[in-house]
Amino acid sequence: MQIDLHTHSTASDGRLAPQELIKRASEAGVEVLALTDHDGVDGLIEARKAAQAADMQFVNGIELSVSWNKRTIHIVGLNFQPDYEPLQRGIAGLQDFRERRAREMAQKLDKAGIPGAYEGAQSFSDGNMLGRMHFANFLVANGYAKNIRHVFKHYLVANKPGHVSGDWATMEEAVSWVTGAGGIAVIAHPARYKLTRTKLRKLIKDFMQAGGQAIEVVSGSHDVNEVKTMAAHAADFDLYASAGSDFHDPDFPWIKLGKLPPLPRQCKPVWDLFL
Ligand code: AMP
Ligand code: MN
Ligand code: MN
Ligand code: MN
């Protein structure tokens, strides 16, 4: 079965509207999908409706931004009740920070000789909350960078123009918002943080201490070896394993819908908890 539990829409920094995402995923053979927009749940109703029409199983999702030991870590929440008050309040706080950060990023870019970034980024966000991807689109469209990857090397990251440090939720907060809402918390793309083995194990321990139950083993941003490493960590800590593409944009050739490899055989699939 083709299961994808990590995708984005225009409700955060994805390029497709929720219903377009569902259509494309369905055509690509995805049978179960979670929409996991950054720090928001605004796309879930539209996506669920489209999934019903396409005869696809839909799972409520979110990707929460967390500050942990001075780093930004992403925690995916799956199969929760979006109207849970503490989750709603938590999301509102993260979105406030996103707005303040966007203003500050634009000011910093302006000082670096790049005017108009706030309005420029907004023209790519369709009125939705602003993320670095929208600034990246603006920088590429105006010739400041040749592509998105170039942006995330030369702008908006530590010690580069337009960088603002994250001030996100704590691990305890983010995990409790998801579990309190009846959902399952998952460490997103663990290999992307480039942590040493010791630090990664510390992250997993802190996450489990907070009530987290799963890690992404198969991810669009994991290579074959990273899948093996994360499967070993999942087994070691008796965590459930998740799988998600982290799809954002049909024009990003490195991540496609409907093409995820299966979980390694020793893994306990996280979807056993809700399918
Ligand atoms: P934000 O949550 O607004 O700080 O933005 C983080 C998002 O930027 C991620 O979810 C990705 O969509 C995107 N991003 C970060 N680093 C890269 C990269 N190296 N290449 C492409 N996209 C990236
Ligand atoms: Mn993103
Ligand atoms: Mn992420
Ligand atoms: Mn993501």
Residue 18 lies in a domain: yes
Supply the Cα-derived Rg of the chain in whole angstroms.
18
Same domain, 57 and 113: no
Nearest to 63 by CA among 95, 35, 89: 35
- Spatial neighbors of 164 by CB under 8 A, at least 6 apart, are 101, 104, 105, 108
Same domain, 67 and 194: yes
Residue 159 lies in a domain: no
Name 68's bridge partners. Answer: 71
Same domain, 181 and 47: yes
**In this model, does residue 226 exceed pLDDT 90?**
yes
253 falls in which pLDDT band (50, 70, 90)?
Answer: confident
Between CA 37 and CA 46 the distance in angstroms is 13
193 lines ligand 1 (CB under 6 A): no
68: helix, strand or coil? strand
Q: Supply the CATH number for residue 259's domain.
A: 3.20.20.140
132 lines ligand 1 (CB under 6 A): yes
Same domain, 186 and 71: yes
pTM, rounded to two decimals: 0.98
- Quick check: 242 and 217 in contact, CB under 8 A? yes
- Span 88-146, pLDDT tens digits: 999 999 999 999 999 999 999 999 999 999 999 999 998 899 999 999 999 999 999 99
pLDDT at residue 127, rounded to an integer: 85
Q: Which of 127, 154, 181 is the last residue of a domain?
A: 154
78 falls in which pLDDT band (50, 70, 90)?
Answer: very high
Structural domain including 122 reads: 92-154
Ligand 1 closest atom vs CA 166: 4
Pocket test for ligand 1, best of 39, 140, 152, 192 (most atoms within 8 A of CB): 152
Same domain, 216 and 114: no
203 falls in which pLDDT band (50, 70, 90)?
Answer: very high
Residue 161 lies in a domain: no
DSSP 31-64: -EEEE--BT--TTHHHHHHHHHHTT-EEEEEEEE
- How many domains, in total, are found in the chain? 2
Same domain, 128 and 244: no
Same domain, 63 and 190: yes
Between CA 64 and CA 252 the distance in angstroms is 22
Same domain, 200 and 73: yes
Which ligand has the minimum distance to the alpha carbon of residue 166? 1
Q: End-to-end CA distance of the chain, in Å?
A: 12
pLDDT at residue 169, rounded to an integer: 98
- Ion ligand 3 — residues with CB < 5 Å: 74, 188
6 lines ligand 1 (CB under 6 A): no
- Span 18-44, pLDDT tens digits: 999 999 999 999 999 999 999 999 999
